[in-house]
Structure 1
Amino acid sequence: MTDAPDDDRTSFADLGLRPELLRALSGLGYEEPTPIQREAIVPLTEGRDLLGQAATGTGKTAAFALPVLERLAQVEKRGDAPFALVLVPTRELAVQVSEAVHRYGRELGARVLPIYGGQPIGRQLRVLERGVDVVVATPGRAVDHLGRGTLNLEDLQVVVLDEADEMLDMGFAEDLDTILAETPKQRQTVLFSATMPPRIDKLARQHLTEPARITINQERAEPGEAPRVRQVAYVVPRAHKPAALGRVLDVEAPTAAIVFCRTRDEVDQLTETLNGRGYRAESLHGGISQEQRDRVMARLRNGTADLLVATDVAARGLDVEQLTHVVNYNVPSAPESYVHRIGRVGRAGREGVAITLAEPREHGMLKTIERVTKQRITMEKVPTVADLRARRLELTRAALHESLLEDELEGFRVVVESLSDEFDVMEVALAAVKLAHEASGAAADEEEIPEVAHRSDRSRGGVAGSDGQRRERRVRPPTAGMTRLFVGAGRSSGIRPQDIVGAIAGEARLQGRDIGAIEITDRFSLVEVPESSAQHVITALRGATMKGRKVTVRRERDAQR
C-alpha cells in the first residue's frame, strides 16, 4: 500500500498518455495530475487490477477514465459490445462520469453511454444495439439489461466499481455479484472506495487479482494555512435546533447547502420549517419520484433553491458544483457517513464548510469522529441575536454603500430636501436605513438559544470569548493567496454563481478552478480571485455586463473604507 508522493513535477505526459488525451486535458485546463491520478494511471494503463481508497473530489474519475481510454485506443478493431463497464451508485454520478469520459475521449471517438433508472429504456436499447465502447451504469439498471439480453459483457476488458462502499450501503451487493459473474474472468477490475470497511475488503478479495493498492490520504493544510473544509460543530438542545440552524445559516450565508437528516419525516418537517423562515429549501428522500428528484436538482443547480434537505441515501452520488456548505442536522451514526458527507464540499481546490448540530448526548460521537478521521472539529457557540443583527446590518451597510457609488440617486433628492425642512438630515438618513434594512427581510429573530456548557469550552482555545471576538472570526479573511472582490449586483438582479464565474472566465481569461468562494446577497456579491490576478479582473470587467447590466467591481476593502 502506498501513499501519494509529494511530487509536484509530474505531468500527464510523464504518465505515458497518448497525445489525443493530453490535448483533451490541456483544453479542459488540467495542468498536472492529482495524487490519485499520479498513483493510479500507470498501473491501470498496464492492465493491473487496482484497489484504491480516495475520498470524493480527489480526481478519481480521471484516474480510471484516462487508462480505460488509453487501452481502448490500442484496440485495432472495436466491436459493438462494450470494452469497459463503470458501475456507480446513482444516476447523478452515472451522468457525471459519462460526461467526463466523453470529454476526455472525444478525439479518440469513444462511444460512451450512461444507463440508469428513471430514463426511458428505449434510447438505451437503440444506442446499445448500434455499439458502445464504455457503459456507465447503476447496478440495478445494468442487471435489468442483462436480464433482457441487451447488455453483452462477453468481450468486456475492464470493470470499474466507483464508490463501492456507497453501492454496498445502498444494498447493491447481490447486483454486483450478478454483474461480475457475467464478465470474463480475465478482465481488469478496478475498485475505488472512500472508506475500507471489512465488506469492501471481502469484495476485493473475491473479485480482484493481485491488485495494486493505493491510499490517498485527505489533503491536510500547510502550517498556517486554513483547512480546505472548515469543520465546526454547535452543541444545541433538541428543541432549539431549527432556530439554531437558521441562525447559523444566516451568519454563514451559503451559496448552496445540503442539510442531512436521519429520516424522511425529519426532512419534510425541516424543509417546511426553513421555508417558513424565508429560505428557499427543497426536500430529497426516497419517498419522492425520479421526476420530482430531477426538478429539485435543477432548482438547486440554477439557483432558484438555496438549501437541499436530504437523507443520506437520497443524496448518494450528488455532485453540485456551487455547493459551499454541508450541514449535519444530527451527528452521523458512523464516521464513514461523516466522511462521505463532508467530501461534497472543498472540491477542486475550493473552500468548503462542514457544520454539525449536536445534542448534548451526541458530544461523545463527535469525539469518536475526530479520533477516526484524525481531523479537528472546532466547537463554537451558536450565534447570538446580537451576532445576527450585526451580520444583517453589515449586509445592509454594504448594499447602501454600493447604491451611493452607483450615483443614480438624483431622482430622490426632492424627498430628502422636503423632509430636511422638518427633520435633521441624520434622522432622515436613519429612517432610510431602517426601511432598507427591513425591506431586505432582515427582521432579527429575537429568540435567544440557551448555551450548553461542554468540556471543549475549556480545552480548545478560540471558541470562548466575547461576542465581538466571535463576530470577527465569522467575517472570514479570504483564502490564502486570494483577494475578495466586491461585485455590485446580487440576487435581486438574478445573479447566480455561474454568472460571476462566466464573466470572469470570459473577460479575464481565468480558469473556473482559479476562482474561489462566492457569496451572493440581495444587492451585491463577493468573489475570491488570486491576488496576482485581482487588478486584471477588475480592469477586464470594467464595462462588462452581468444579466444585461453593467456592474461595479472593486476590491472588497475599497468598499469597506
Structure 2
Amino acid sequence: MSADAPVTPTFDDLPLRPELLQELASLGYEEPTPIQSEAIPHLVAGADLLGQAATGTGKTAAFALPLLERLPAGERGRSPSALVLVPTRELAMQVSQAVHRYGRGLGARVLPIYGGQPIGRQLKELGRGVDVVVATPGRALDHLSRGTLDLDAVGIVVLDEADEMLDMGFQEDLESILDEAPVERQTVLFSATMPRHIDQLARKHLRDPVRITIGRAQAVAGSAEGPRIDQTAYVVSRGNKPAALGRILDVEAPGATIVFCGTRNEVDELTETMNGRGYRAEALHGGMSQEQRDRVMDRLRNETADLLVATDVAARGLDIEHLTHVVNYDVPSAPENYTHRIGRVGRAGREGVAITLVEPRQHRLLKAIERHTGQKMDVARIPTVADLRARRMELTRAALREELLGDELDRYHAVVDALADEFDVVEIALAAVKLAHDTLGGDPDEEQELPELALTSDGRDRQGQAGRSGGRRPPRGKGGGDVGRVFIGLGRNAGIRPKDLVGAIANEAGVAGRDIGAIQITQNFSLVEVPSGQVDQVIGALRETTIKGRRATVRRDNRDPGN
C-alpha cells in the first residue's frame, strides 16, 4: 500500500463502548460512512451539530450511536434521556427499530410515538419507563400537553429530516417542544437541504454547532457503504406511461421495486394496471389506515409482493433490504425529492437502479435534477417489441438450463420415448420449449410498438400543477372526486395557518397533502376539504391530538351535504 493512501476508518476508531461495537459487528457493519465518521466523535463529546446529509448516507446511525453511547450506566429512571423528532410515522418506526437494534447490548428502552397508534399503549410504555423516545411532532406535543411525556431528564434532542417537518407545517410545534426541553441540552439537526428557515431554526436553538455537509457524491466516493445507483431516463408520452413501465420492468427483470407517483388516485390506477400485467403490485398512500400499510409492507418484505406503487409521503423513511429499483413515474418538480426517492436503493454498498419516465416537455425538470445531483442522466429508448421477444427467449433458455442441470428429469423419459416413435427428438424438444416459453408471460407480438420520442429543447413545462409551485390545487369536488368539509374550532386568533392544518391532517390522519382541498380560516374556526371517504378518519385523528399545542373542537361541517 502506498504511504499516501488514505486510511479507511473503522468503527473501532470511534469513541463507542464495547457493547455498541459488538452489536455493529454482529449486524455486519464493517466501516462507518462519511457522515458517521465525522459526526459521531463530535456528538459523543456533547457538541451541538447541524448536519446536511442526503437520504442513504447513514445519518440514522450517526445520531443513534452517540445518544446510546451517552446513556447512563446501570439502573436508569423512567424519564427519557433522548428525544428524536421525525416527520412521519413510517420514519418514526424505522428510526425506533434502528436505535433498538443498535442498543440491544445496553438494554436500551426505545419507544416510537406517532398518530394512528392507540395512545393507551404509548401511555402504558411511558409509565413503565423509556430511555429514547422517537416521535412525530404532533404526538409529542400531545403527550406534553397531557403531562405524560417528561423532558426534564432529556440530555439530547435530535431533529431528523428537519426540512420535511417544516414543510409539513410543524415549525411552531417544534419550537414549543424545544422550549419544553432543558436549556442545558445537546441539540442535533439533520436535514437533506438547508433553506433559510432551517438556518433560522438552528441559530435559535443550537449553541455554536459543528457544521457537517455530506452530499451523495461524497458518500459514493468516500465509503463502500455509499450508494451506487445507475440512473436512466426514458422519454414517453403520458398516455403510454403504463405500457412503457411494464415493458421496462419486463426487460429489467428487477427484484423488489418502488414506483413513485404524484397522486393517490394515480397510485391506485397504476397498481391495478400493473396487477393486470401479471405483477404482484401493492399500493401505499396516505389514504390507507396504518393496519393496511403494515400489511402492504409485510407482503413486500416477505417477498409475496414485488412492486410497491407509492406516493412520496407514504414511502418516506422506508428501508427495504432487497429493493433493487426505484421508478419515478412522475418527474418530481423539486430535485431534492428526486434525491429522497432514489435514496431508497443503493444502500449499504449495494447497487441500485433509478428509472425516470420523462415527458417530452419536461426538459427543464430533468436538467434541474442533473444540476442538483451533479450527474448526467442517461436517456435511453423504450424497449421495442424485438427487445421484449429477445428478453423472454433469454428467460426461457435460462429456465430450461436450470431444469437440465437438475436431477428430476428421469420420470419424463416415458413421455419422450413414446413421442420419439412418431416425431423427431428435435421437434419434441422444440414443442417443449414452446410450452415453457408460453408459461413465462404474454406474447410480445401482441404488444404495439411505442413511439420513440425526444425531449423538447424549448424548456416549456405545461403541466399546470399549481400545487407544485406553491399554490393550492383546486377543490377535489371540481372534477377530482367527492369531498367532505371538516370544521376545526381554531382560527386566526390561535395563530392557525394553512400549513398547520395540512401538517396535522397529513401526519395524524394519514391524508396526503395533495389530497387536501380548499382551506378557509376565519378568526375563530377553520374549514378544510378532504376526500369524502376520509372525513371520519380525519375527525377521529384530530380529536386525539393538538394543533399548535391546543385542542380543538373537530366535527363535520354543518353545511357539508354529507352531514
Pick the TM interval, shorter chain: 0.7 to 0.9
1:232-271 to structure 2, matched below 5 A, reads 232-271=232-271
CA contact (8 A) 1:92 1:319 kept: no
User: Which residue pairs with 2:198 in the alignment?
Assistant: 200
CA contact (8 A) 1:228 1:350 kept: yes
What is the CA-CA distance between 1:98 and the residue it aligns to?
1.9
What is the CA-CA distance between 1:276 and the residue it aligns to?
1.1
CA contact (8 A) 2:57 2:227 kept: no
What is the CA-CA distance between 1:77 and the residue it aligns to?
6.5
Residue 93 of structure 1 aligns to which amino acid in structure 2?
L
Residue 450 of structure 2 aligns to which amino acid in structure 1?
I
Alpha-carbon distance in structure 2 between the residues aligned to 1:44 and 1:7: 24
What is the CA-CA distance between 1:32 and the residue it aligns to?
2.3
CA contact (8 A) 2:361 2:455 kept: no
User: Which residue pairs with 2:450 in the alignment?
Assistant: 449
Instruction: Give the 3-state SS of the residue equivalent to 2:270 in structure 1.
Output: helix
Q: TM-score under structure 1 normalisation?
A: 0.76
User: Which residue pairs with 2:20 in the alignment?
Assistant: 21
User: Which residue pairs with 2:183 in the alignment?
Assistant: 185
Cα distance change on mapping 1:411 and 1:18 into 2, 3 Å: closer
Q: Which of 153, 156, 170 in structure 2 is aligned with 1:155?
A: 153
CA contact (8 A) 1:392 1:442 kept: no
Alpha-carbon distance in structure 2 between the residues aligned to 1:20 and 1:227: 28
Which is worse superposed, 84-93 or 197-206?
Answer: 197-206
Specify every segment of 5 or more residues in structure 2 that has no aligned partner in the other structure, as ranges. 458-563
Alpha-carbon distance in structure 1 between the residues aligned to 2:16 and 2:409: 60
Cα distance change on mapping 1:363 and 1:35 into 2, 3 Å: same
Deviations 1:76-102 (A, max 9, x none): 873321111011222232222222222
Cα distance change on mapping 1:356 and 1:286 into 2, 3 Å: same
Cα distance change on mapping 1:362 and 1:49 into 2, 3 Å: same
User: Which residue pairs with 1:276 in the alignment?
Assistant: 276
User: Which residue pairs with 1:138 in the alignment?
Assistant: 136
Instruction: Give the 3-state SS of the residue equivalent to 1:422 in structure 2.
Output: coil
Cα distance change on mapping 1:451 and 1:159 into 2, 3 Å: same
Cα distance change on mapping 1:158 and 1:222 into 2, 3 Å: closer
* Cα RMSD after superposing both structures: 2.3
Cα distance change on mapping 1:410 and 1:18 into 2, 3 Å: closer
Q: TM-score under structure 2 normalisation?
A: 0.76
What is the CA-CA distance between 1:240 and the residue it aligns to?
0.9
User: Which residue pairs with 1:440 in the alignment?
Assistant: 440
Which is worse superposed, 311-320 or 20-29?
Answer: 20-29
What is the CA-CA distance between 1:197 and the residue it aligns to?
2.4
Q: Which of 164, 169, 181 in structure 1 is aligned with 2:167?
A: 169
Cα distance change on mapping 1:6 and 1:143 into 2, 3 Å: farther
User: Which residue pairs with 2:39 in the alignment?
Assistant: 40
Cα distance change on mapping 1:103 and 1:268 into 2, 3 Å: closer
User: Which residue pairs with 2:549 in the alignment?
Assistant: none
Q: Which of 126, 135, 138 in structure 1 is aligned with 2:124?
A: 126
Deviations 1:334-366 (A, max 9, x none): 101101101110000000011000010012210
Residue 450 of structure 1 aligns to which amino acid in structure 2?
P
1:103 has 2:101 as partner: yes
What is the CA-CA distance between 1:370 and the residue it aligns to?
0.2
Instruction: Give the 3-state SS of the residue equivalent to 1:344 in structure 2.
Output: coil
Alpha-carbon distance in structure 2 between the residues aligned to 1:8 and 1:91: 39
1:389 has 2:386 as partner: no
Instruction: Give the 3-state SS of the residue equivalent to 2:249 in structure 1.
Output: helix
Alpha-carbon distance in structure 2 between the residues aligned to 1:417 and 1:331: 57
Residue 280 of structure 1 aligns to which amino acid in structure 2?
R
Greater relative contact order, per chain length (Cα 8 Å cut-off, separation 6+): 2
Alpha-carbon distance in structure 2 between the residues aligned to 1:227 and 1:63: 16
Deviations 1:522-556 (A, max 9, x none): xxxxxxxxxxxxxxxxxxxxxxxxxxxxxxxxxxx
Alpha-carbon distance in structure 2 between the residues aligned to 1:108 and 1:454: 56
Alpha-carbon distance in structure 2 between the residues aligned to 1:236 and 1:153: 53
Alpha-carbon distance in structure 1 between the residues aligned to 2:82 and 2:376: 40
User: Which residue pairs with 2:292 in the alignment?
Assistant: 292
What is the CA-CA distance between 1:105 and the residue it aligns to?
2.4
CA contact (8 A) 2:94 2:317 kept: no
User: Which residue pairs with 2:60 in the alignment?
Assistant: 61
Residue 175 of structure 2 aligns to which amino acid in structure 1?
D
CA contact (8 A) 1:235 1:363 kept: no
What is the CA-CA distance between 1:415 and the residue it aligns to?
2.1
User: Which residue pairs with 1:480 in the alignment?
Assistant: none
Alpha-carbon distance in structure 2 between the residues aligned to 1:6 and 1:209: 36
Alpha-carbon distance in structure 1 between the residues aligned to 2:267 and 2:105: 45
Instruction: Give the 3-state SS of the residue equivalent to 1:89 in structure 2.
Output: coil
Cα distance change on mapping 1:7 and 1:135 into 2, 3 Å: farther
Alpha-carbon distance in structure 1 between the residues aligned to 2:318 and 2:287: 17
Cα distance change on mapping 1:431 and 1:21 into 2, 3 Å: same
How many percent of aligned residue pairs carry the same amino acid?
72
Residue 348 of structure 2 aligns to which amino acid in structure 1?
A
Cα distance change on mapping 1:104 and 1:410 into 2, 3 Å: closer
What is the CA-CA distance between 1:67 and the residue it aligns to?
1.3
Alpha-carbon distance in structure 1 between the residues aligned to 2:454 and 2:12: 56
Instruction: Give the 3-state SS of the residue equivalent to 2:211 in structure 1.
Output: strand
Alpha-carbon distance in structure 1 between the residues aligned to 2:320 and 2:293: 14
Alpha-carbon distance in structure 2 between the residues aligned to 1:408 and 1:291: 43
Cα distance change on mapping 1:211 and 1:259 into 2, 3 Å: same
User: Which residue pairs with 1:113 in the alignment?
Assistant: 111
User: Which residue pairs with 1:333 in the alignment?
Assistant: 333
Residue 426 of structure 1 aligns to which amino acid in structure 2?
V
User: Which residue pairs with 1:211 in the alignment?
Assistant: 209
CA contact (8 A) 1:166 1:316 kept: no
User: Which residue pairs with 1:85 in the alignment?
Assistant: 83
